[in-house]
């Protein structure tokens, strides 16, 4: 609890630490295409992404506008047709 509070305070006070402690979202899918360089950077496999896409109500990548690896490890998916059901289950990597 102390470390969490201390890191949050340091991140608030110093923007560089904020980016290290809470990294910005990283795009993994764009216009239905996997961004393999970003996948390698986060050590995420295609199967893991496809599993998250299915969990969030999409059958294949053609239905996905974008997907992001969030700073806390979740994958959020934005559906092409606006059908995103808001699920952002934690990805076990």
Q: Is residue 2 part of a domain?
A: no
- Give the CATH number, domain containing residue 84: 3.30.240.20
Q: What is the pLDDT of residues 31-54, one digit of tens each?
A: 999 999 999 999 999 999 999 999
Number of domains in the chain: 1
Domain membership of residue 57 as a residue range: 23-93
- Answer whether residue 92 is part of any domain: yes
Nearest CA among 58, 26, 24 for reference residue 39 = 26
pLDDT for 46: 95
Specify the pLDDT at position 52.
93
Residue 81: pLDDT band (50, 70, 90) is low
Give the pLDDT confidence of 66-77 residue by residue, as tens digits. Answer: 999 998 889 999
Task: Give the pLDDT band (50/70/90) at residue 89.
Answer: very low
Distance CA(35)–CA(43), nearest Å, equals: 12
């Amino acid at each position: 609890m102390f470390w969490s509070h201390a890191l949050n305070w340091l991140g608030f006070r110093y923007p560089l630490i904020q980016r290290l402690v809470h990294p910005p979202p990283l795009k993994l899918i764009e216009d239905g295409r996997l961004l393999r360089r970003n996948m390698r950077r986060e050590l995420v496999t295609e199967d893991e992404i496809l599993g998250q896409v299915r969990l969030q109500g999409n059958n294949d990548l053609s239905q996905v506008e974008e997907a992001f690896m969030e700073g806390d490890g979740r994958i959020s998916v934005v559906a092409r047709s606006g059908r995103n059901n808001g699920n952002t289950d934690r990805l076990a990597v």
